[in-house]
Amino acid sequence: MPLYVGIDLGGTNIKAGVVDETGRVLSSASVPTLADRGPDAVILTMAQLARDVAAQAGATIEKIAAIGVGTPGMIDFDHGIVLSAPNLKGWRDIPLVAALSKITGRLVVIENDANAAAMGECWLGAGKGGNVRELVMLTLGTGVGGGFVVDGKVVHGKFGMAAELGHLVLIMDGEPCPCGQLGCLERYCSASAVGIWATRAVESGQASSLASLRSKGQEITSKDVFDAAAAGDALAKQLVDTLAAQLATACVTLCRLFDPELVVIGGGMIAAGEALLSPIRREFTKRSWSAVKVRTKIVPAVLGSDAGFIGSAAVALHADRAAHTVA
């Protein structure tokens, strides 16, 4: 049975694993990226990790049908080049596909890391067993990331920039974003943004238990806001309600664009669980079509940090099948 290696290249760690074509994960491992040593060293580390996980799965690298790599940054998909990856020192115009396939002798394909995570959730995570082919993933962390799976495939767009959901415009003439736009979703709904909005509210004099954190000189995090809301703090509850309404609004827009079966919410903020998901679902129902039954489900991501390598393996499987179809 064909085996695929998926690699999730992160700024801190590289995670990889072997997945077979039926979606059985046969092995996985993680090593530090050591990005300071530069792109060549990181590519050698990825090649060694691919060999190691193949061995753990009882195979050799020669038995691997294809390798998929989920990478941060901007990608030239046509040429297999990482154009820039701000979290990886020295990664500018790196021909990752050519370099890794030269070392390993395997078919190599690259994917944006957020798109890879969406593929992972579609295949073996939130969409597992459901034959899901239409899915949107929203990742709520320090920033907001996203990925679309349409008809079972990742959507790149003409210039490789599709699914930059953190920069979906939520509020016309809203908060300035470093990207140059105004009112981006990320300025309202990332974990960092929730902390910033809480800090602003407290500093404007609104009464809250969160004020004690500020008076101790601590930063307010999104976790602090959810904890305070759970303890009954009125301001924190209001912040969570606003966050849920904003995310629900984004979900309605995504449904009008893509009509997905699932909107999968992942990232660090999903640790809040139903305290985040329930109000999003409530607001989504309230704000969505009333004339048509809304069938899209809003669900949590389930693979955590494994989504990246599993989705990268899925991308490798698709590339391998496409190569054989063409041949």
Stretch that binds Zn ion, among 34-42, 95-103, 131-139, 161-169 (CB under 5 A): 161-169
Closest distance between Zn ion and the C-beta of residue 28, in Å?
33
Q: Of 177-185, 253-261, 297-305, 309-317, which part binds Zn ion (CB under 5 A)?
A: 177-185
Residue 241 Cβ vs Zn ion, minimum distance, rounded to whole Å? 24
**Span near Zn ion by CB under 5 A; candidates 162-170, 189-197, 234-242, 281-289:** 162-170
Q: In the numeric block, which tokens belong to residue 78?
A: 């046509």
**Among the candidate windows 23-31, 143-151, 169-177, 274-282, which touches Zn ion by CB under 5 A?**
169-177
Q: Binding string to Zn ion for residues 222 to 241, with x set by CB under 5 A, is what?
A: --------------------
Residue 167 makes contact with Zn ion by CB under 5 A:
yes
Q: Tell me whether residue 181 or residue 238 sits nearer to Zn ion (CB atom).
A: 181
Least distance in angstroms from the C-beta of 12 to Zn ion? 24
Would you say 46 or 189 has its CB closer to Zn ion?
189
Query: Cβ neighbours of residue 152 under 8 Å, at least 6 residues apart?
Result: 122, 133
CB 194 within 8 A of CB 243: yes
Separation of CA 264 from chain center: 10
Interface with Zn ion includes 171 (CB under 5 A)? Answer: no
Q: Tell the smallest beta-carbon distance from residue 191 to Zn ion (Å).
A: 16
Give how many residues touch Zn ion by CB under 5 A: 5
Which of residues 81 and 162 has its CB atom nearest to Zn ion in the complex? 162
Instruction: In angstroms, give the least distance from the CB of 162 to Zn ion.
Output: 15
- Binding status of residue 294 toward Zn ion by CB under 5 A: no
**3-class secondary structure per residue, the chain:** CCEEEEEEECCCEEEEEEEECCCCEEEEEEEECCHHHCHHHHHHHHHHHHHHHHHHCCCCHHHEEEEEEEECCEEECCCCEEEECCCCCCCEEECHHHHHHHHHCCEEEEEEHHHHHHHHHHHHCCCCCCCCCCEEEEEECCCEEEEEEECCEECCCCCCCCCCHHHCECCCCCCECCCCCECECHHHHCHHHHHHHHHHHHHCCCCCCCHHHHHCCCCCCHHHHHHHHHCCCHHHHHHHHHHHHHHHHHHHHHHHHHCCCEEEEECHHHHHCHHHHHHHHHHHHHHCCCCCCCCCEEEECCCHHHHHHHHHHHHHHHHHHHHHHHC
Which range of residues in 123-131, 137-145, 166-174, 259-267 is near Zn ion by CB under 5 A? 166-174
Q: Which is nearer to Zn ion, 39 or 147 (CB)?
A: 147
Q: Which of 55, 98, 161, 179 binds Zn ion (CB under 5 A)?
A: 179
Q: Shortest gap between Cβ of 164 and Zn ion (angstroms)?
A: 8
Between 31 and 182, name the residue whose CB sits nearer to Zn ion: 182
Q: Among residues 180 and 232, whose Cβ is nearest to Zn ion?
A: 180
The dihedral region occupied by 80, where left means phi > 0, alpha psi between -120 and 50, and beta the remainder, is left
Residue from 25, 155, 169, 177 binding Zn ion (CB under 5 A): 177
Q: Are 100 and 108 in contact (CB under 8 A)?
A: yes
By CB under 5 A, what part of segment 180-219 binds Zn ion?
181, 184
Instruction: Give the footprint of Zn ion on this chain (CB under 5 A).
Output: 167, 177, 179, 181, 184
